[in-house]
């Protein structure tokens, strides 16, 4: 065989041998692991479904990295078909993971991640479907080759509550994905948060059964956090019973979330489903979220967020904020919520800011939203305060260019369905309402929406009528440098 041909075949042989890279330590068990997607200590329930993302992808979708052709293939050669290489699979069991629901498998996951991250070929870190794997606080950091997949087909969970949490571990987060480009987190399995004992820590009051008041979390971990990463995909998982936030995206860009089922009890405090902060170009699609706090929360520094085909409730609805706490500057722009259902929720579509803040919330569009027995269907609150004892302050985050179109359904009559409480010195401006029809779920019509320092128009007659919006723009907002964002 000629030297040139042998040199061409060597890369092809290397790729072929990487079809299933279970290169860790062999680890055999005399007893089969108990667990699986419904075994171990998993508090499972109804499976979520994965459906395709909408026809309109997140902005700048063309920035997704394009993988190079397989080794040894010459793209310009028409006689050689270009076939994607089979990924290397790094099964955590090959690195010593037991998956019996009680053994600490942290080290096996860290070793499997290290190997997958270092792989020259496309890699899949596999959490197999026949196990329940417990790991402690872990940061899976890069850089790694784009295209790395973290596949959860079994059950993945933290230790059971604060008493079992290692004293040396961070109590504010559990699994962190950091400094990555092109990561996909997916699977048919479950991430179980074991959050119940965290919710009952003696710190924050929250609702209990039969109208009682319980107390809630102090330092409680976010279940899954993505930090300083880009080109992320999260899809198909069931995630439940988080100690605090289920997902948090912080300092990221170009994110697509699709087909998640997020579930925690209605009285679980601070269990936001998906929180986005300092992150841009985000698409959240085709997901069902029920929890004890915001279904989706949008924090400061978030831009170009597209939310479609979401079912929320129970919980606190879809919220922008809270913003401007401790007199900080907050900027959020270009957020779209479309084709959403919000049911049995304390709030529907909410914007909440603290007095004393600066900056702006702008370019917000809520469209084609169905409400079912929601207490505060449409609310802007520039006087947000956790205990209602906050000082009055003159500055505020400016809320402007907010539209509500085709928002229909039923409300809980304990509150007016529409509530615009805006700042005296920094009023809300350019609020537009079209085809808004909200009727009582039971009882008599509450036809007295609340407005304070709110400017805007009804483009069509709303039910109930919102005649309290003021026309034009207030002089107080002209040339105010505190309202500027990027």
Annotated catalytic residues are: 316
d(Cα 334, Cα 305) in Å, to the nearest integer?
Answer: 6
Task: Look up residue 243 and give its two tokens.
Answer: 């100690």
Could you give the C-alpha distances from 420 to 374, 402, 451, in angstroms and in order?
16, 12, 5
Task: Look up residue 470 and give its two tokens.
Answer: 């003021």
Cβ contacts of 16 within 8 Å, gap of 6 or more: none
Name the pairing type of β-strands 213-216 and 204-207. Answer: antiparallel
Task: Look up residue 317 and give its two tokens.
Answer: 């609805």
The dihedral formed by the CA atoms of 427, 343, 340 and 357, expressed in degrees to the nearest 10: 30
Name the pairing type of β-strands 230-235 and 222-227. Answer: unpaired
Do 218 and 200 form a contact (C-beta atoms < 8 A)? no
Do 231 and 256 form a contact (C-beta atoms < 8 A)? no
Do 40 and 109 form a contact (C-beta atoms < 8 A)? no
Helix (H) or strand (E) holding 109: helix 106-118
Do 121 and 93 form a contact (C-beta atoms < 8 A)? no
Q: How many residues does the chain have?
A: 486
Name the pairing type of β-strands 149-152 and 204-207. Answer: unpaired
Q: What is the DSSP string of 122-189?
A: -EEEEE-TT-EEE--SEEEE----TT-EEEE-SEEE--SSGGGS-TTS-SSEEEEEES-BS-EEE-SS
Q: What are phi and psi of 447, to 5 degrees?
A: -110, 35
Task: Look up residue 233 and give its two tokens.
Answer: 């995909």
Do 302 and 275 form a contact (C-beta atoms < 8 A)? no
Q: What are phi and psi of 7, to 5 degrees?
A: -65, -35
The residue written with tokens 């128009």 in the block is: 457
Instruction: Give the count of beta carbons closer than 10 Å to the beta carbon of residue 383.
Output: 17
Helix (H) or strand (E) holding 117: helix 106-118
d(Cα 368, Cα 288) in Å, to the nearest integer?
Answer: 17
Of 242, 366, 360, 371, the C-alpha closest to 312 is 371
């Amino acid at each position: 065989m000629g030297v040139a041909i042998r040199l061409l075949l060597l890369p092809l042989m290397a790729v072929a041998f990487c079809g299933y890279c279970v290169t860790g330590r062999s680890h055999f068990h005399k007893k089969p692991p108990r667990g699986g997607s419904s075994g171990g200590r998993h508090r499972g329930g109804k499976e979520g479904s994965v459906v395709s993302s909408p026809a309109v992808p997140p902005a700048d979708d063309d920035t997704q990295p394009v993988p190079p052709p397989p080794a040894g293939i010459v793209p310009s050669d028409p006689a050689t078909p270009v076939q994607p290489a089979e990924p290397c699979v790094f099964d955590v069991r090959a690195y010593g993971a037991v998956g019996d629901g009680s053994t600490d498998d942290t080290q096996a996951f860290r070793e499997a991640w290290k190997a997958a991250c270092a792989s020259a070929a496309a890699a899949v870190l596999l959490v197999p479907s026949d196990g329940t794997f417990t790991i402690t606080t872990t940061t899976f950091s890069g850089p790694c080759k784009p295209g790395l997949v973290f596949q959860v087909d079994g059950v993945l969970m933290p230790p059971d509550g604060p008493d079992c949490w290692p004293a040396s571990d961070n109590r504010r987060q559990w699994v962190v994905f950091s400094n990555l480009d092109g990561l996909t987190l997916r699977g048919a399995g479950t991430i179980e948060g074991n959050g119940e004992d965290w919710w009952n820590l003696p710190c924050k009051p929250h609702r209990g059964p039969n109208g009682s008041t319980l107390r809630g979390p102090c330092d409680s971990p976010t279940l899954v956090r993505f930090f300083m990463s880009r080109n992320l995909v999260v899809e198909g998982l069931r995630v439940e019973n988080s100690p605090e936030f289920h997902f948090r995206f912080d300092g990221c860009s170009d994110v697509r979330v699709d087909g998640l089922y997020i579930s925690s009890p209605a009285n679980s405090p601070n269990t936001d489903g998906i929180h986005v902060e300092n992150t841009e170009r985000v698409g959240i699609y085709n997901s069902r979220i029920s929890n004890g706090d915001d279904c989706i929360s949008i924090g400061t520094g978030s831009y170009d967020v597209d939310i479609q085909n979401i079912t929320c409730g129970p919980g606190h609805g879809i919220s922008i904020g809270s913003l401007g706490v401790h007199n900080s500057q907050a900027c959020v722009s270009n957020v779209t919520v479309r084709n959403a259902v919000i049911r049995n929720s304390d709030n529907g579509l909410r914007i909440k800011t603290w007095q004393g803040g600066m900056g702006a919330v702008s370019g917000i569009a809520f469209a084609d939203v169905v409400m079912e027995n929601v207490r505060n269907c449409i609310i802007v609150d520039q006087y947000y305060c956790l205990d209602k004892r906050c000082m009055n302050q003159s500055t505020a985050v400016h809320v402007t260019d907010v539209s509500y179109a085709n928002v229909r359904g039923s409300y809980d009559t304990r509150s007016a369905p529409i509530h615009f409480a805006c700042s005296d010195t920094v009023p809300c401006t350019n609020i537009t309402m079209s085809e808004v029809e909200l009727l009582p779920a039971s009882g008599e019509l509450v036809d007295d929406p609340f407005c304070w320092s709110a400017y805007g128009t009804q483009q069509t007659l709303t039910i109930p009528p919102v005649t309290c919006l003021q026309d034009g723009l207030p002089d107080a907002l002209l040339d105010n440098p505190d309202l500027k964002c990027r």
